[in-house]
Amino acid sequence: MTEPVIYQLGSPGREGVRLPKPDVPITPLPDELLRGELDLPEVSELQAVRHFVNLSQMNHAIDKGFYPLGSCTMKYNPKVNEDAARLPGFAHLHPLTDEDGVQGALALMYQLQEWLAEIAGFAASTLVPAAGAQGELSGILMIRAYHLSKGDTKRTKILVPNSAHGTNPATCTMAGYQVVELPSDANGNVDLAALRAACGDDVAGMMITVPSTLGLFDSQIIEIIHAVHACGGLMYMDGANMNSLLGIVKPGQLGFDVMHYNLHKTFSTPHGGGGPGCGAVACTQTLKPFLPGPIVEIVEEAPSVSANGAGAVNPLNDAPLYGLRMPPQSIGRLKAFWGNFGMHVRAYAYIRAYGTSLREVSRHAVLNANYVRVKLRDQYRLPYDRICAHEFVLEGRFEGVEGVHALDISKRLMDYGMHPPTNYFPLIVREALLIEPTETEDKATLDAFIEAMRKIADEARSDPALLRDAPHTMPIKRVDEVRAAKQLILCCRPVPDWAHQAAGD
């Protein structure tokens, strides 16, 4: 890394801001709060703006180019959602405002709860969980609360297929359960014989990622659900990535008892930088009393006749009265206040924009993934060669080519202006490259990606060093990823020599 440019540009006395005249008396700051040694660059307004714009463009973003990162579904954050979430009536709400003062916000949340329940074929939902993993924890704690409510204390195990998302076994362990890992069969489905052997009266339930992290819809899902129900267990579906199922499959109708969505993967809310998310949980009527709260309920139905005496219809009286309530046997609260409300607004706007054509999202997600899969399968190993859902896995290794890994392919893809796919996940595929084109990319973009991947396969065979040294065109070369994460240099001052040495420059 070169010295941060802004330090080279700074010159003493240059100013970038002109502060407005203060409207309070000027009071000098106490000496002990003033620091003389801070060597901050003095730059003009344009220099500062250009510095930060240039920095922002050193990173790849969905607004700059293709982003086929797998197991993260949609990469589409409609700008109109951002406008909706910034409407002052929403953005300036205070979470402690009385319910009468936030009826509009509660109506939005109520409607979103209803839609999320309906889309998945369930009786109820909650918007409280702040992430997919928190949704999982909610669902597993609900399953536990359900068994305990019946005095059934012998169930200590949850079954988790080895094609599950990594959060699944982690969640079950956090909830105090013992995880029983189930193998996959040669087609990438859950091994039914192993499942049947594991079922028993000590099984609290099963947690299954659908589609699995192999991008596959388990073709024996009904048999799986029946087997687990037959031994008294409940079925949890990790529906973080529902993009391939919207309007096509309702998990509640398949027989699942509880699931979570990731609104930040399926309903367009932003997903970057570990920001606020929503892992909404939907469930059956039986599990509804256990939902984490509060959830929005109608506390008073809309009066059918206006109450203003003059006979005219008063639109305000036409709406029901909404309130935030804890379900009767709730597992409790998972988060302060009411969840990430700004995300609820965005997901609401997204679902409304699509309306009944939400199904088109899924049809395109599946079509795009399968198009790319078929166009690459003669160049890359495809461990499960069958119709995929919204994503698929390739192996990043080539017959007769030593020392080329999935990571090298990913780094080389950056030279073609595209974000790498997910690497080394799922764990059950060697040199995994998990590719998810998403529903929002057009054919020309998919073709450009296919061409880049095919060129990279040629390069791997003819000039493997080109891949091993990639990227060649990025602002920084290949970094030591472990060190880059553990010894992050966040200082904006010129990087000291010792840091260059430590980083092996």
Ligand X SMILES: *Cc1c(COP(=O)(O)O)cnc(C)c1O
Binding site residues, ligand X, CB under 6 A? 71, 131-133, 165, 167, 209, 238, 240-241, 262, 277, 279
E strand intervals along 314-388:
321-325
Q: Work out how close the CB of 385 gets to ligand X at its nearest, in angstroms, rounded to a whole number.
A: 22
Residue nearest ligand X, CB atom distance: 132
Residue closer to ligand X, measured from CB, 265 or 411: 265
Report the alpha-carbon distance of residue 37 to residue 493 in Å, rounded: 13
Q: Work out how close the CB of 116 gets to ligand X at its nearest, in angstroms, rounded to a whole number.
A: 15
Residue closer to ligand X, measured from CB, 113 or 241: 241
Q: Work out how close the CB of 362 gets to ligand X at its nearest, in angstroms, rounded to a whole number.
A: 16
Q: Work out how close the CB of 441 gets to ligand X at its nearest, in angstroms, rounded to a whole number.
A: 19
Q: Work out how close the CB of 203 gets to ligand X at its nearest, in angstroms, rounded to a whole number.
A: 21
Residue closer to ligand X, measured from CB, 164 or 456: 164
**Spatial contact of 330 and 292, defined as CB atoms under 8 Å apart:** yes
Q: Work out how close the CB of 71 gets to ligand X at its nearest, in angstroms, rounded to a whole number.
A: 4
Q: Is 322 helix (H, G, I), strand (E, B) or coil?
A: strand
Report the alpha-carbon distance of residue 351 to residue 116 in Å, rounded: 10
Angle at the Cα of 236 from the Cα atoms of 234 and 240, rounded to 5 degrees: 175
Report the alpha-carbon distance of residue 459 to residue 440 in Å, rounded: 29
Residue closer to ligand X, measured from CB, 272 or 328: 272
**Spatial contact of 435 and 70, defined as CB atoms under 8 Å apart:** yes
Report the alpha-carbon distance of residue 450 to residue 346 in Å, rounded: 32
Distances (CA, A) of 177 to 23, 207, 260, 334: 61, 12, 19, 19
Residue closer to ligand X, measured from CB, 106 or 224: 224
Q: Work out how close the CB of 276 gets to ligand X at its nearest, in angstroms, rounded to a whole number.
A: 10
Report the alpha-carbon distance of residue 490 to residue 495 in Å, rounded: 10
Residue closer to ligand X, measured from CB, 71 or 330: 71
Angle at the Cα of 119 from the Cα atoms of 230 and 300, rounded to 5 degrees: 100
**Spatial contact of 259 and 236, defined as CB atoms under 8 Å apart:** yes
Q: Work out how close the CB of 132 gets to ligand X at its nearest, in angstroms, rounded to a whole number.
A: 2
Residue closer to ligand X, measured from CB, 391 or 408: 391
Residue closer to ligand X, measured from CB, 208 or 404: 208
Q: Work out how close the CB of 197 gets to ligand X at its nearest, in angstroms, rounded to a whole number.
A: 25
Residue 438 has a CB neighbour count (10 Å cut-off) of: 25
Residue closer to ligand X, measured from CB, 137 or 195: 137
Tabulate helix, strand, coil % of the chain (nearest 5).
Answer: 40, 10, 50
User: Of 230, 185, 184, which is closest to residue 205 (Cα–Cα)?
Assistant: 230
